[in-house]
């Protein structure tokens, strides 16, 4: 017999070690290149963008927490008309690569853009989409699914008894939500918001297009010109991420974990007359988050089809599109499965054996998500191109998948951790008393309960991988195209019609995959 506890710790340590690869690279290069850390904090040209990144990250996280939680509650716990339909739509905005989403919204809002043409007859003038508020709004629209997916998974499993009692005592749906529901889903909200925060501080495309100057811009513009600063600032982002995740796990420690019920709760809140109001609200929201960008992209495509051109901005071509769809589906499915399985020991350790070791392992996992993608990509290039043992894997699919895993491990670990933590202790105890071994207990008792949470993790990694660009460009095999790399190439070439078509295809493929693999499955297992 081996000791399962020791095995778990060992697995968590090994996995965490893999995740520290980018950190080792940055620290090594940093020391090698002799960056002056003092300089970073004494000049406003790095200090101010850093503060702006933190401010934007916190704001977007807070806004996403509100939006994601509201959507999850409305679509899962209430009788809002069309709940199932809204549930499928809800995770989708995550799939817009932020540079595409931002470009689409900017062109929809701009003078002569599709939204402008809509409101102009009524005498409205749309604000120019730029600056802090625009960045806050756009990033929230594209990142709230990080909160929605884990919270929705949690809501599905939450025992309804407390809510029922509160309702019987005459509390309004709103009061029940605030006083009964929120405390129980708090861990999932926190985990999701942390992901949003990390995404925001590492985003480059959207903030750049929306003309809000943050840390990633400084990092990026120093990539060629000042490598020591490039590395030092990347390290600063990594430290920020580690701090954020440590703070999060501190606050989780004090939070009460409410166990899940093994059965899906049957409670539906009757919104009564306000149900149509809620449906209207959802409609309006998705008009902005999904229909807006989609119509804007479709507008590009239609212009292209009407022009009938074969060259230039309006040329449409579907050469290689099928191959790119296949590649995208393949790598994103593989990355989702790999990531969720590999980081499970870390989530398990954090949820069950919270301590020094779990703090370190869960901190290690988040680093890859907070770094600008190019820095993570270069870290993997450094490890794999220079090392004889690893070199055979350089620029191959296994390395690309590893890159995705290191990039998105945080999404899986944080979401899965909330799922594992919610397994009721008494179920475990009962199984143990009946003499079931640790491993057997895991597969027969715990796994069925945490599956919806794991599927939510997989869904996040899946959608994130489908749109991933910088890591893909840096680590892919030659001639390996995903939809995201094609969209990037089209935009780079000012081929808007083609970029629009490819983006719509990406959205459609994501919608189908999300429905089949995440929502339908998790509905069925409930």
Partner 1 sequence: MATHSEPSNRSSLGIRASVLALVLAMVLTACGSSTDADLIESGPLEGTTITVYSGRGEDLIQPVLDLFEAQTGATVDVRYGGSAEMALTIDTEGDNSPADVYIGQSPGAVGFLDQNGHLAALSSDTKGLISGDYQASTGNWIGVTGRVRVLVYNTELVDPAELPATVLDLTKPEFAGLVGVAPSNGSFQDFVTGMRGMLGDDATADWLAGMAANNAPNYAKNGPIVDAVTRGEVPMGLVNHYYLLEFLEENPDLPAANHVFEPGDIGSMLITSAAGVVTYSDDTEAAEALIAFLLSPEAQELSANGEKEYPLLASVAAPDGLAPLTDLASITVDLNDLAGGLEGTQELIDNSGIQK
Question: In terms of residues, how long is the chain?
Answer: 526
Nearer to partner 1, 47 or 85 (CB): 47
Q: How far is the CB of 118 from partner 1 (least distance, A)?
A: 16
- Under the criterion CB under 8 A, does residue 319 sit at the interface with partner 1? no
Tokens of 495: 């081929």
Q: Is residue 508 helix, strand or coil?
A: helix
- For residues 196 to 235, the per-residue mask of contacts with partner 1, x marking binding by CB under 8 A and - elsewhere, is ------------xx-x-x---x--xxxxxxx---------
Q: How far is the CB of 218 from partner 1 (least distance, A)?
A: 8
Q: How far is the CB of 479 from partner 1 (least distance, A)?
A: 7
Q: How far is the CB of 507 from partner 1 (least distance, A)?
A: 22
Nearer to partner 1, 377 or 452 (CB): 377
- Under the criterion CB under 8 A, does residue 341 sit at the interface with partner 1? no
Tokens of 123: 């005498």
Closest CA to 29 of 232, 238, 224: 232
- Under the criterion CB under 8 A, does residue 492 sit at the interface with partner 1? yes
Count interface residues toward partner 1 (CB under 8 A).
Answer: 48
- Rounded to an integer, what distance in angstroms lies between the CA atom of residue 399 and that of residue 397? 5
Partners of 269 in the beta sheet?
Answer: 78
Closest CA to 114 of 295, 344, 343: 295
Q: Which of 313, 321, 341, 357 binds partner 1 (CB under 8 A)?
A: 313
Let me know: does 401 contact 389? Beta carbons within 8 Å: no
Closest CA to 57 of 209, 230, 245: 245
Taking CB under 8 A as the criterion, which residues in 38-97 touch partner 1? 45
Let me know: does 378 contact 337? Beta carbons within 8 Å: no
Contact range with partner 1 by CB under 8 A, out of 158-166, 232-240, 303-311, 359-367: 303-311
Tokens of 485: 């790399």
Q: Please, what sign has the CA dihedral across residues 67, 72, 75, 77?
A: negative
- Rounded to an integer, what distance in angstroms lies between the CA atom of residue 297 and that of residue 303? 10
Taking CB under 8 A as the criterion, which residues in 232-291 touch partner 1? none
Q: Which of 11, 62, 66, 110 binds partner 1 (CB under 8 A)?
A: 110
- Under the criterion CB under 8 A, does residue 478 sit at the interface with partner 1? yes
Q: How far is the CB of 491 from partner 1 (least distance, A)?
A: 8
Longest dimension (CA), the chain: 76
- Under the criterion CB under 8 A, does residue 125 sit at the interface with partner 1? no
Q: What are phi and psi of 371, to 5 degrees?
A: -80, 150
Q: Which of 5, 243, 391, 525 binds partner 1 (CB under 8 A)?
A: 391
- Rounded to an integer, what distance in angstroms lies between the CA atom of residue 213 and that of residue 128? 16
What Rg do the C-alpha atoms of the chain give, in angstroms?
Answer: 23
Residues near partner 1 (CB under 8 A) are 45, 106-107, 110-112, 128, 208-209, 211, 213, 217, 220-226, 303, 307, 309, 311-314, 374, 377-378, 381-382, 385-386, 391, 394-395, 470, 473-474, 478-479, 485, 489, 492-496
């Amino acid at each position: 017999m081996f000791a399962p506890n020791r095995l778990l710790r060992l697995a968590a340590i090994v996995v965490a070690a893999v995740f520290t690869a980018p950190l080792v690279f940055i620290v090594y290069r940093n020391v090698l290149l002799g960056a002056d850390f003092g300089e970073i904090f004494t000049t406003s040209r790095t200090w101010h963008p850093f503060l702006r990144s933190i401010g934007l990250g916190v704001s977007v996280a807070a806004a996403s927490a509100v939006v994601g939680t509201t959507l999850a509650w409305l679509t899962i716990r209430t009788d809002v008309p069309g709940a199932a339909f809204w549930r499928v739509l809800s995770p989708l905005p995550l799939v817009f690569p932020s540079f595409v989403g931002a470009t689409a919204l900017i062109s929809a809002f701009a003078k002569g853009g599709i939204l402008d043409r809509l409101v102009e007859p009524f005498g409205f003038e749309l604000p120019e989409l730029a600056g802090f508020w625009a960045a806050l709004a756009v990033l929230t629209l594209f990142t709230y699914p990080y909160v929605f997916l884990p919270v929705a998974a949690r809501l599905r499993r939450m025992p309804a008894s407390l809510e029922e009692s509160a309702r019987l005592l005459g509390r309004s749906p709103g009061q029940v939500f605030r006083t009964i529901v929120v405390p129980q889903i708090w861990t999932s909200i926190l985990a999701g918001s942390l992901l949003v925060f990390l995404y925001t501080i590492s985003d480059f495309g959207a903030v750049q297009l929306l003309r809000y100057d943050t840390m990633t811009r400084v990092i990026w513009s120093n990539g060629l010109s000042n490598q020591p600063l490039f590395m030092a600032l990347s390290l600063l982002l990594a430290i920020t991420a580690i701090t954020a995740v440590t703070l999060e796990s501190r606050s989780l420690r004090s939070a009460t974990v409410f166990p899940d019920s093994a059965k899906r709760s049957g409670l539906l809140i009757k919104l009564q007359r306000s149900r149509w109001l809620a449906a209207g609200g959802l409609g309006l929201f998705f008009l902005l988050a999904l229909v807006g960008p989609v119509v804007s992209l479709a507008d590009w495509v239609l212009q292209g089809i009407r022009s009938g051109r074969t060259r230039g901005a309006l040329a449409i071509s579907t050469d290689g599109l099928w191959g790119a769809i296949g590649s995208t589906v393949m790598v994103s499915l593989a990355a989702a499965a790999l990531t969720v399985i590999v980081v499970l020991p870390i989530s398990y350790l954090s949820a069950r054996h919270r301590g020094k070791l779990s703090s370190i392992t869960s901190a290690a996992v988040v680093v890859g998500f907070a770094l600008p993608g190019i820095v993570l990509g270069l870290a993997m290039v450094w490890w794999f191109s220079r090392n004889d043992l690893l070199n055979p894997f350089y620029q191959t699919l296994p390395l690309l998948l590893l890159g995705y895993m290191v990039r998105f491990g945080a999404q899986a670990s944080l979401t899965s951790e909330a799922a594992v933590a919610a397994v009721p202790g008494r179920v475990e105890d009962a199984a143990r008393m009946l003499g079931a071994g640790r491993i057997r207990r895991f597969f027969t008792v715990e796994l069925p309960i945490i599956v919806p949470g794991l599927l939510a993790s997989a869904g996040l990694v899946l959608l994130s991988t489908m749109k991933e660009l910088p890591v893909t460009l840096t680590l892919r095999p030659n001639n390996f195209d995903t939809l995201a790399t094609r969209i990037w190439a089209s935009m780079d070439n000012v081929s808007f019609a083609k970029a629009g078509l490819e983006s719509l295809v990406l959205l459609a493929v994501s919608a189908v995959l999300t429905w089949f693999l995440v929502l339908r499955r998790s509905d069925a297992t409930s």
